[in-house]
Structure 1
């Protein structure tokens, strides 16, 4: 048995809290193997990240009483979540921040996280890590100055479709953690619940995979699959001219942030689909400078770029067809409200003849029925 546990795909975006290695490898490999990906449009944005690094400033700052201010020094959340203010959920605060930024009430594309009123003693005692990050990556000491923050891609609720034991449609293949979609988070993961997907469902997947392996014969990998993979690697390594991967990757990350970020608009999503298509064409001529076969990070990054392009295409296809606002998928201009009658269902994307094909799957509900969330 094999368990995919490759994490998320935050590196689709120029601003992300994810590690550089979070390029959706497991999701893309499953997709190419003919497996379905579920809810790929559901990318969560965290409201307090540092630009341009994407380093996360913990929600503990707001838990301790920090304020979010616009350039005029106004606690702008009174217009968006007047009852909970800075303690509203991530998606609400991220959208509020983005609206302030889009309205020009920003500071160089950021809003301000203000801890100054907490006092030096409390900041040093309760939030030393956040202070250190701010000073290290921005040169800002929150004891004296507010921290510039902006929404950044944080967690992908979508992923490889699995059952509650981590099983995929392919016999002997499991997926667990952020690369999987059970789905325990629906359209909007709550803070801390990633532990449920990693620890609880990771344990279930591991146990089930081990039991399956002990009671079944080995699943052989077809020789043709190995030969195809070797041929693709040789083609990358032997190419003599073309475009370097980083230029394509940078353009993908920048345009995804602009066109498929906190807010989604029909024309921007359609434009992003065209951009991704063009980038995929350019990727066919991607050039490696390192031709070695040992610890070749140039090769690794080129392969990862191919994975990211596959996933971006799936996300855009699903996002365009979900004509409502739900969880992390916000369409403020044309479909600003949730539509349970038409869209209380999962998006399912498969590769058919090399292109993503969308279908829908009903949401399984047991005890709890969905209700409108109000602040």
Structure 2
């Protein structure tokens, strides 16, 4: 079957913050750039980011990128690569000011400088006290960011393919990436996008869990495509559960609420975080706060008739402050909890929010794989940025507002790397393999011809409930092992999913089945990797990890200070060292993590 081919210098899959920032770099360099997106760019999931973007501007109090770097290494529980973390924290001021020049409507201080609020885990003077580092546009920072960067891309003549779904990565005989296949939703037709370089900026995959702050589009498409193309996935056991999802709905309540003075309370009205993090209190890192909340619930101090959540209280704040700094949160409370946060506390519970792992990259945005004894050899023509990538700046746990910083810094750096790579290549594209689209077409044909197969919705739900029950905030040895078995059984069902609707035009049943193909790869990588890591570190907490002076909080630096690499073939695991050496400053030495 002949498949139409579209040819570009660069193809970006995903139109969220990382994809848009990279596209600016490429298009403004004069390269012909295509961006493929399942939704209109300003509806990408970056739109849901509320609290702000981290940068040590020091607009209202002293701050320094060294302190930001220390906080990020500490927040990562020392699993983050210190060269990449230094790169991100040193670039933070630059990319935020660039964003302001694109037209980003940040809130302002009376002096006219960008308003900054405190955020969990961000401290002054190497952990002394909370510092104002989060540059915010009220509680709609991601929304404002997307609009600013989309407008800049329109000016730069970036070409968008909206309501298209990328299907598979195309690699030639040498293993180089030469394009992707993609389906136009309107017609159901498959195209090949032939490129000199490809960037995946497809966001997260929180929909592997039953309760998630993630949009329904967050199905791990880039991660799934990379796994099917033979790229190992890094540190997929580390998933952040945001402390404050609306109980029963999962909708995000920004950490900025606590940054503005919000307090978590249990059923007796106690401010319980003082017991778990006496210094940072409600602004400890997210994994610490989430575990404290679950502990309160498990020990019978939860709120409501089922004692299954805690309360987030801002009733002591001036209503004018709430309406100025947190208007969207008040609206979310009314819409999803039936609660006006000005008058009464919000019911909240930890909810799956962010994947720390993903497609392995370096701080230049190049995708790297093990080869000939070298753990990090770049894959020619392949780049990744944002939540689908693992540069590893977040390690075992991400600090709030470092996600928007991640996508700005590594969106830009990957764009710069791609510009340099493309301009170094011959004018002609590398040829496509003869069978470039065959694998994608076979997947679609299988769906069209499947008889007596598994239902997509029921199979997806079984996967989500299994992940929620067996690989959540706290993890137990026997439950993880049982979860691995269940997910491998569900994988067999995914291979036989059936859709009743065989039409071509906007066939959402087919799209959901294709998304499930990606979700199951993420679920396998997550639970197999988690089952193997027998320590507690950051967001990954094992019940059987012994707490000793040599293993603070169950963390085992002797045996487990290393990155996991999951290979799709045979669910094989191998490991590579954490880069403990920064670019220009001294290594931040291992120590017990406390707030």
Band the TM-score falls in, shorter-chain normalisation: over 0.9
Give the C-alpha shift of residue 233 in structure 1. 0.6
**TM-score, with structure 1 as normaliser:** 0.94
Q: 1:121 to 1:321 in 2, by over 3 A?
A: same
- Does residue 364 of structure 1 match 2:579? yes
Larger Rg computed on CA atoms: 2
- Of Structure 1 and Structure 2, the greater helix share is in 1
The partner residue of 1:293 within 504, 510, 520 is 504
Question: Are the aligned partners of 1:265 and 1:334 in contact in 2 as well (CA < 8 Å)?
Answer: no
Question: Are the aligned partners of 1:42 and 1:157 in contact in 2 as well (CA < 8 Å)?
Answer: yes
Question: Are the aligned partners of 1:71 and 1:106 in contact in 2 as well (CA < 8 Å)?
Answer: yes
The partner residue of 2:343 within 132, 144, 152 is 144
Question: Are the aligned partners of 2:244 and 2:254 in contact in 1 as well (CA < 8 Å)?
Answer: yes
SS where residue 452 of structure 2 aligns? coil
Q: 1:74 to 1:283 in 2, by over 3 A?
A: same
Question: For 2:536 and 2:576, how far apart are their aligned partners in 1?
Answer: 18
Aligned length: 373
- Does residue 280 of structure 1 match 2:495? no
Aligned partner of 1:350 in structure 2 is: 567
Aligned partner of 1:154 in structure 2 is: 353
The partner residue of 2:244 within 48, 52, 62 is 48
Q: Any idea what the Cα deviations from partners look like across 1:21-53, whole Å, max 9, x if unmatched?
A: 111111111111111111111111110011333
Question: Are the aligned partners of 2:545 and 2:554 in contact in 1 as well (CA < 8 Å)?
Answer: no
The partner residue of 1:248 within 435, 459, 462 is 459
Moved more, 180-189 or 208-217: 208-217
Question: Are the aligned partners of 2:220 and 2:388 in contact in 1 as well (CA < 8 Å)?
Answer: yes
Give the C-alpha shift of residue 103 in structure 1. 2.2
Give the C-alpha shift of residue 96 in structure 1. 0.5
Question: Are the aligned partners of 1:177 and 1:198 in contact in 2 as well (CA < 8 Å)?
Answer: yes
Question: For 1:210 and 1:316, how far apart are their aligned partners in 2?
Answer: 37
Q: Any idea what the Cα deviations from partners look like across 1:36-92, whole Å, max 9, x if unmatched?
A: 111111111110011333211111221222221122222222321122221111111
Aligned partner of 1:113 in structure 2 is: 312
- Does residue 339 of structure 1 match 2:538? no
Question: For 1:305 and 1:93, how far apart are their aligned partners in 2?
Answer: 31
Question: Are the aligned partners of 1:29 and 1:307 in contact in 2 as well (CA < 8 Å)?
Answer: yes
**TM-score, with structure 2 as normaliser:** 0.60
- Does residue 323 of structure 1 match 2:549? no
Gaps of 5+ in 1: none
Q: Any idea what the Cα deviations from partners look like across 1:201-231, whole Å, max 9, x if unmatched?
A: 1111112122222322423442334112211
Aligned partner of 2:524 in structure 1 is: 313
Matches within 5 A, 1:158-237: 158-168=357-367, 169-217=378-426, 218-237=429-448
Moved more, 309-318 or 103-112: 103-112
Aligned partner of 1:134 in structure 2 is: 333
Question: Are the aligned partners of 1:256 and 1:272 in contact in 2 as well (CA < 8 Å)?
Answer: yes
CA RMSD of aligned residues (A): 1.7
Question: Are the aligned partners of 1:172 and 1:219 in contact in 2 as well (CA < 8 Å)?
Answer: no
Question: For 1:302 and 1:72, how far apart are their aligned partners in 2?
Answer: 46
- Of Structure 1 and Structure 2, the greater strand share is in 2
Question: Are the aligned partners of 1:166 and 1:182 in contact in 2 as well (CA < 8 Å)?
Answer: yes
